[in-house]
Amino acid sequence: MATLGIPQNTIEILRKYDFCFQKKFGQNFLIDPHVLERIVEEAGIGAEDFVLEIGPGIGTMTQYLCESAREVLAVEIDRKLIPVLGETLADYQNVTVLNEDILKLDLGEIAEKYNAGRPVKVVANLPYYITTPIIMELFESHVPLESITVMVQAEVADRMKAKPGTKEYGALSLATAFYAEAEVVGNVPPNCFMPRPKVSSAVVRLNCHKESPVEVHDERLMFRLIRASFNQRRKTLANGISNDTGLPFGREEVVAALEQMELSPMIRGERLSLEEFAKLSNLLTGEGGRKEPIA
Ligand code: SAM
């Protein structure tokens, strides 16, 4: 099978299968061999690696991954692409294609079944309509992940890397910092895709932490606090948390914890670092007498 990274080959296969791009699935296929090579290189894929690819499309990047990795598992939601992938990946014995929605799969089970629970590398040109849910699902699944190398909207890449006090800083920045170290490894213009997306793109590599960078007694509570403070971005942190009906903390309790941290009672969530959210969460739960989030 010819390399799909060459646009002419992509056009041919799309014509052969009379394929219509589905906007609802975020289908923008890569057609630039340099970008494809760069992604696989930046992901550091070697002969020992097991790779999970999310959304293989017609198999363009999958071909590159199969050339470098020990094994590739490609999860594609669009059933119309399954026969196409049967043809474009026919030369490779080290690939399995699953016709599934990545958000509905038990990723722990997948890692266990296909890679005996050993660390997985994720590589994808992500469908932009569900970038954040996919990233959060990968993080929160607690699947052993080595790295996640993904094409995302440039604006999402900025949010992942954002620092406290900037307008891009939010729950995604904090989740990324908690689970990984993020590095933008390249910017990709719209003309590298078919059809061209309306936004600019960037490739981000998330090197997943082996150990948590902060000590937090209750991870779930910390993320509930983070969400409460960014849901009401214009409010003070103390008001955001105490107004959240799913959280059992009154304003005074939050203000007292902030005072112990030598922070102003009027501070907004967007000013707090990951370390400070972890400390706030630990102070609010106390040593023994814990209060669980309600919802
Ligand atoms: N990897 C291909 C490439 O680079 O040319 C295609 C990338 S395209 C941006 C995103 C792909 O993800 C599409 O093939 C789309 O059908 C698939 N997709 C969208 N939502 C999905 C989901 N929930 N689960 C699995 N695949 C999905």
Ligand 1 mean position, distance from CA 175 (Å)? 23
pLDDT of residue 32: 95
Q: What tokens does 103 get?
A: 């958000």
Ligand 1 mean position, distance from CA 216 (Å)? 35
Could you identify the atom of ligand 1 that is nearest to the CA of residue 4? 5
Ligand 1 mean position, distance from CA 284 (Å)? 41
Assess whether pLDDT exceeds 80 at residue 290. Answer: no
- Report the nearest-CA residue for atom 6 of ligand 1: 57
Among 112, 148, 152, residue whose Cα is nearest residue 128: 152
pLDDT digits (tens, 9 = 90+) for 193-236: 999 999 999 999 999 999 999 999 999 999 999 999 998 888 99
Ligand 1 mean position, distance from CA 26 (Å)? 7
Assess whether pLDDT exceeds 70 at residue 291. Answer: no
- Report the nearest-CA residue for atom 19 of ligand 1: 25
Query: pTM, whole model, 2 decimals?
Result: 0.93
- CATH 3.40.50.1360, applies to 7-208: no
The ligand 1 site (C-beta within 6 Å) comprises 25-30, 54-57, 60-61, 75-78, 101-103, 125, 127, 130
pLDDT digits (tens, 9 = 90+) for 58-74: 999 999 999 999 999 99
The arithmetic mean of pLDDT across residues 234-253, rounded, is 94
Pocket test for ligand 1, best of 27, 38, 65 (most atoms within 8 A of CB): 27
Q: In 101-250, which residue ranges form alpha helices assigned H by DSSP?
A: 107-115, 131-140, 154-161, 171-179, 219-231, 237-243
The arithmetic mean of pLDDT across residues 26-32, rounded, is 97
- Report the nearest-CA residue for atom 14 of ligand 1: 57
The arithmetic mean of pLDDT across residues 282-294, rounded, is 69
Could you identify the atom of ligand 1 that is nearest to the CA of residue 55? 12
Among 158, 213, 159, residue whose Cα is nearest residue 181: 213
Domains 7-208 and 219-285 share a fold: no
pLDDT digits (tens, 9 = 90+) for 140-170: 988 999 999 999 999 999 999 999 999 999 9
pLDDT band per the 50, 70, 90 thresholds, residue 188:
very high
Higher-confidence residue: 192 or 6? 192
What does R_g of the chain's alpha carbons equal in angstroms?
21
Domain boundaries, the chain: 7-208, 219-285
Give me the long-range contacts of 30-35 (CB less than 8 A, separation at least 24): 30/5, 30/57, 30/60, 30/61, 30/125, 30/151, 30/192, 30/193, 31/5, 31/7, 31/60, 31/192, 31/193, 31/194, 32/5, 32/188, 32/192, 33/3, 33/5, 33/6, 35/186, 35/188, 35/192, 35/203
Ligand 1 mean position, distance from CA 42 (Å)? 20
Assess whether pLDDT exceeds 50 at residue 289. Answer: no
pLDDT band per the 50, 70, 90 thresholds, residue 5:
confident
Residues 106, 164: Cα–Cα separation, whole Å: 33
CATH architecture designation of domain 219-285: Orthogonal Bundle (1.10)
pLDDT digits (tens, 9 = 90+) for 257-279: 999 999 999 999 999 999 999 99
| pLDDT above 70 as % of the chain | 97
